[in-house]
Structure 1
């Protein structure tokens, strides 16, 4: 949902040898202080408000929020686990969840959920089940969800004669790219003003790309890059989800998808690996260097916060006859070593409640996991003239692809990233992904 990662700033708690400044919520007069780590500077105000509301209702508990940038968040959290000084509660991501749960570093919530009669049906379909461990126990309550769609420059599309109706009904296939590739080609313009579908187009001297490539997708299972195309062929990344025991990155359907995606670079419709490396895709869209970019709902505020006349379209309809988006969701986990498990649970329960998620919705940075609150966020965007229905359509009316959850997540990501970067940089052929997949599946004894 996240670069391929969520582009957010992150939180972390103090551990041995490191001093972290508590942000926004200072301990008051309560008898118990719960530390809460999160990433996302843009989400901090919403959770400050939730913490203040929670403290008023629970005067014996104080919430201290610690917030840091993405990379430092995870490295510090890992160190906190090792040094037994992790935060009481922290925002969790599905790429990290398998490690915590298989190492018994977070608490199962089943007894608390049953005791307090927490209604799991209020969440968007499937989100709660993402946080079930291999032991069948639940380790989190959903806090938000995200989907993937196409951000585009409305002015460029109007100039090219492409309508919003066309954008909402794009089709794709791995053979010729369908009407989706037709649009990508037409929106690509070289330095001489020649479009990608016109005679004389110079693919080596492109001024505006039809579609931007944001990394290889290896670090996020292609969430914002290619997962929507591959899944629309009927392909799935693992044998089962969650807790599959083999990956399918060597399948022919996947190879065909990546061959098409890589082909956009060869045709000059998408930047090369070298041209996009280290470059922010949203900046390129705002600067007019690309007409379209696929990315997650969490980037809506960033895209529409520029001078760009932006629009959003759903992913294209694939060979399966359906459009697909990978759907990811975050949760809040309780550190197994917390000295205050009951108070930590009360905070986690509140974070997963309608009361807090409506506050998050009103700030409309992300879509809350509770359906009722998600509609509040949708309306808040609409009040600003932003139509986010393509994201909501993916979650409520179309099939979705869940983020893969398996053991060995870090090693899987490492192998997939190396394999995909080699392919997208032209160092290895697409069929080398068979070897990449074999390397990944060896982690599971396959």
Structure 2
């Protein structure tokens, strides 16, 4: 993980912000010393986000908000994913965090546990904001361990099967066929047959044909980026979850996680067998530095489990036609996906809590989320805006129903929310790396689970 703090270009400040800053500087220069602040000057709120692709949509929301709230200016700052959390944690410690920031379910527990996020439940009740307008379950992600509400739902995501349409057609499949694929941990079902057919060695022999050389593969049937640690959202989670496994005894704020469950070991055993058979690359190749999207673009991966947040990037790959389908149906009788969400959170130490609340409240309205929907980048949290996003994706050729099916059929599973997640990953990442690289057996996850459960026992 990169730890250097490279700052990406800041989103443009409003012209009014620049004008106000210039006017204040001129006034102070004339006075010859620092004078009292202008009581009528607008309050500037800093808003942090990590996805550069979403900045234009939220800049439009900021412009619309400023027009209706001339006493508040919004300064959007964007950082890359790794830098974002490094910078945010450092700024929390220094008590100089942004007024409002985009929060993630895996990070939320840590900040909530240290009282670094403002509880907005009373403000929600006073405003009359309708929490029923959001997709099911998303509000629950932001409940504190002792109650309270520490953010408003921003968007949601699930995962699907991205595929190279030309390679799939050459293998004899139609896009409709992919909606019917099933898997099981015994022989992999029709999904493994699909992956075998898509896999091609350097001599042009397919994975389901005699003479296939699993050690000299030109096109892997399915790719992945890393082992997935204890989360596995775009790796093994869809298979484990559709095999009857779930992350924890309860969510949010579990008292123990379930990495010792045989249903997980069974799913992981099958998943890594795809590496043994040559249908997926070895872990060392998957983590070699060549990204999964680039590998799809080059044709070295024929398919990929990936998140909806990358749907547009996939659709914009040059020289390759990428399609989408849902994850396969598992032994439980249904397909499954992690059903994640983001929120807009207010830093507890902001000097402008009232103005920050106004901005967060606006971000949670149909007016803003409809703007975001039209960008076809993510699925906004409000149900009606989600539907508009599906239509916007369809307009650019992305079958967004491959992701929405999990919401419609209730097969999405919320990610575990705990203040211990960083510590969980410090145990589960090397444990899963060891299993996927064949240094340990899947049964070894039970020993890792004992260490994880001791973390939670310390809290009881």
| Aligned residue number for residue 328 of structure 1 | 340
| Aligned residue number for residue 439 of structure 2 | 427
Bigger Rg, structure 1 or 2: 2
1:377 CA displacement = 1.2
Contact 1:323 1:398 in 2 (8 A): no
| Aligned residue number for residue 260 of structure 2 | 250
Residue 313 of structure 1 pairs with residue 301 of structure 2: no
| Aligned residue number for residue 369 of structure 1 | 381
| Aligned residue number for residue 130 of structure 1 | 141
| Aligned residue number for residue 208 of structure 1 | 219
The Cα offsets for residues 223-254 of structure 1, whole Å up to 9 and x where unpaired, read as 11111111111111101011111011111110
Give TM-score, length-normalised by structure 1: 0.94
The Cα offsets for residues 79-102 of structure 1, whole Å up to 9 and x where unpaired, read as 111110000000000111001101
1:20 CA displacement = 8.1
Q: Secondary structure at the match of 1:133?
A: coil
Residue 25 of structure 1 pairs with residue 35 of structure 2: no
Q: Secondary structure at the match of 2:398?
A: coil
| Aligned residue number for residue 6 of structure 1 | none
Number of equivalenced pairs: 430
| Partners of 1:90 and 1:159 in 2: CA distance | 46
After the TM superposition, which parts of structure 1 deviate over 4 Å for at least 4 consecutive aligned residues? 18-21
| Aligned residue number for residue 402 of structure 2 | 390
- Of 328-337 and 420-429, more deviation after overlay is shown by 420-429
1:19 CA displacement = 8.3
| Partners of 1:21 and 1:362 in 2: CA distance | 24
The Cα offsets for residues 134-155 of structure 1, whole Å up to 9 and x where unpaired, read as 0111111101000100000110
| Aligned residue number for residue 351 of structure 2 | 339
Residue 352 of structure 1 pairs with residue 340 of structure 2: no
1:384 CA displacement = 1.8
| Partners of 1:22 and 1:340 in 2: CA distance | 21
Residue 67 of structure 1 pairs with residue 78 of structure 2: yes
Structure 2 portions without partners, runs of 5+? 21-40
| Aligned residue number for residue 281 of structure 2 | 271
Q: Secondary structure at the match of 1:322?
A: coil
| Partners of 1:171 and 1:370 in 2: CA distance | 31
Distance 1:50 1:439, change over 3 A: same
The Cα offsets for residues 176-229 of structure 1, whole Å up to 9 and x where unpaired, read as 11100000011100011111111111000000000102200116x011111111
Contact 1:245 1:406 in 2 (8 A): no
Residue 97 of structure 1 pairs with residue 108 of structure 2: yes
Give TM-score, length-normalised by structure 2: 0.91
Contact 1:25 1:48 in 2 (8 A): no
Distance 1:321 1:56, change over 3 A: same
Contact 2:179 2:326 in 1 (8 A): yes
Q: Secondary structure at the match of 2:74?
A: strand
| Partners of 1:135 and 1:296 in 2: CA distance | 31
| Partners of 2:199 and 2:9 in 1: CA distance | 46
Contact 2:185 2:267 in 1 (8 A): yes
Of residues 216, 231, 238 in structure 2, which corresponds to 1:228? 238
Contact 1:50 1:351 in 2 (8 A): yes
| Partners of 1:177 and 1:183 in 2: CA distance | 10
Structure 1 portions without partners, runs of 5+? 4-11, 13-17
Contact 2:312 2:398 in 1 (8 A): no
The Cα offsets for residues 100-135 of structure 1, whole Å up to 9 and x where unpaired, read as 101000011111100000001111111111111101
